Chains A and B, each alone.
Chain A
Amino acid sequence: MSILVLADLHEGQLAGATAHVVAAAKAIGGDIDVLVAGEGVQAAAEAAAKLDGVSKVRVADNAVYAHQLAEPMGALLVELADGYTHVLASASTTGKNVLPRLAALKDVSQLSDVLAVDSADTFKRPIYAGNAIATVKSDDALKVITVRTTGFDAVGDGGSATIEAVDTVVDNAQSSFVKQELAESDRPELGGAKVVISGGRGMGNGENFKLLDGIADKLGAAIGASRAAVDAGFVPNDMQVGQTGKIVAPELYIAVGISGAIQHLAGMKDSKVIVAINKDDEAPIFQVADYGLVGDLFEILPELESKL
């Protein structure tokens, strides 16, 4: 077996997700190469070379791969995929954007959001918003897979892979980057945070989300939200935890004013410890919470912040 992992980048640096995808590749077994594609990505390539289990890092450093647009990235992967049995990427918005293009051009199916490896051709993945887990077997010669990072513990550093330049340059006259607005935050990224505190419709409005700030600061937590809070316009969609948003699995998840709709639970139920704060003692969130506190969040949150 020979596996190519597409590295995830965040502002040009190697994103934490990649170490999880490499772990999934190790579970499949075989040689693992990592492709780092972008513009000015040498540092990311060096970071990828340190990941445990990686044999070779292939670096495609060219302006055409800047921002990892789908069209050139798909074309690059098609050029590089020959000789590999598996191509993996994280189920990030980049992996989801790019990998299906490779699969279609190679005339193979893609397995999305794989959360467990049974064997080199058999995998588990969630369907129906995580309300069922499907075991699927692929007989395609090339397996194209996006990996749900919460399903695999990140590999550590300690590797010393070789770094090799890829000089394949593809044309792209179809798409161009216009702008990017990333939420500015000193807080950890939602997907990788050890503690997450999320607010739901019970927060009442966007202004009240500030009540979570102080607690998040004290716990080093990322702040999330339920889809109900996003749909109500309280906070932007990139804060959404759930099947249609981010899937998280922190050490501690605190759900505030969140009733616990199925679609939200699908995004956080693998958290190690779940705390629910809600005024409705019948709220479904309490059925999954390790510790539930029934009461008015506007009284509980300031008290919690002062006592932490």
Chain B
Amino acid sequence: MKVLVAVKRVIDYNVKIRVKADHSDVDLTNVKMAMNPFCEIAVEEAVRLKEKGVATEVVAVTVGPKAAQEQLRTALALGADRAIHIETDERAESLAVAKLLAKVVDEEQPGMVILGKQAIDTDNNQTGQMLAALTNLPQGTFASEVTVDGDKVHVTREIDGGLQTVALTLPAIVTTDLRLNEPRYAKLPDIMKAKKKPMDVKTPADLGVEVASKVSLLKVESPAERKGGIKVASVDELIDKLKNEAKVL
């Protein structure tokens, strides 16, 4: 079975973001970028499926600017066999990305597609579900366990209040949650080898997909700052304040 894994280049999760002075967007100039953490989990899961002998080939794909090839090289260093870069400098929203990935699914015919459940920049949590709808495939979102069993996959999902397990026919779309696995670090020899692995570059036009969206970003602001309060000296003082000042007890 071939596994397609989608990755996204985003701001490094350790970086504190700044809003631009003109409120047009978040300032990403000279900011450290990295693979979206949920996508790292997706790559790890795909590689583990290959190590278990379930997957025969792992193909990494991204949609983004030229620089996003760094994240594809990371995926290759972590164990993906080859990569597809759909190059665009436009702001590609979830729907456009899902349409592009649907074209790749059509060409590659994978047995499973694994994506992160959300990217930590736009926090949309949509692309996997949209891809599933567009390809008319079943979906196992927010996965904390993925088990392939013959022509089906069992996906345990993190839902509000607990866990739910669903059985899906293959091919299927899976999106990763935090506890699915703990991604490995790429070793230096693998990083060197990754430079020689094949990478195919296409454009949205090659795939016949329009990237423009009907949603416009009007303004970006910093959230209202919460002011710190006071320090209390004892449990008694805390209880007194909560009862008599905040009146929440």
- Interface, chain A (partner B; CB < 8 A): 10, 67, 69-71, 74, 92-94, 96-105, 107-113, 122, 126-140, 173-183, 189, 191, 195, 219, 227, 230-231, 237-238, 243-244, 246, 251-252, 262, 269, 272-275, 281, 286-294, 300, 303-304, 307-308
Contacts and interface: CB of A to CB of B under 8 A. Distances in A.
B154 interface: yes
A100 B231 contact: no
B229 A289 contact: yes
A293 B16 contact: no
A166 B242 CA distance: 50
Q: What does DSSP make chain A's interface, helix, strand, loop or mixed? A: mixed
Given A126-B123, A137-B218, A251 B248 contact: yes
Contacts of A288: 226, 228
A127 B121 contact: yes
A227 B120 CA distance: 15
A71 B138 contact: yes
* Nearest 8 Cβ contacts at the A-B interface: A100-B129, A290-B229, A104-B130, A174-B138, A182-B162, A101-B133, A104-B133, A100-B126
Interface in B78-97: 93-95
A120 to B, nearest CB: 14
Contact of A129 (B123, B158, B162, B235): B123
Contact of A112 (B126, B144, B221): B126
B134 interface: yes
B157 interface: yes
A139 B232 contact: no
B166 A69 contact: yes
B216 interface: yes
B220 A132 contact: yes
Contacts of B236: 307
Contacts, number: 246
B220 to A, nearest CB: 5
A230 B177 CA distance: 13
Given A71-B139, A137-B216, A132 B223 contact: yes
B126 to A, nearest CB: 4
The SS class assigned to the B binding surface is: mixed
A227 B163 CA distance: 17
Contacts of B125: 96, 100, 112
B160 interface: yes
Contacts of B26: 127-128, 132
A98 B216 CA distance: 23
Contacts of B220: 127, 132-135
A243 B123 contact: yes
Contacts of B137: 174
A67 B163 CA distance: 12
Given A93-B159, A96-B141, A291-B232, A126 B215 contact: no
Contacts of B188: none
B207 interface: no
B201 interface: no
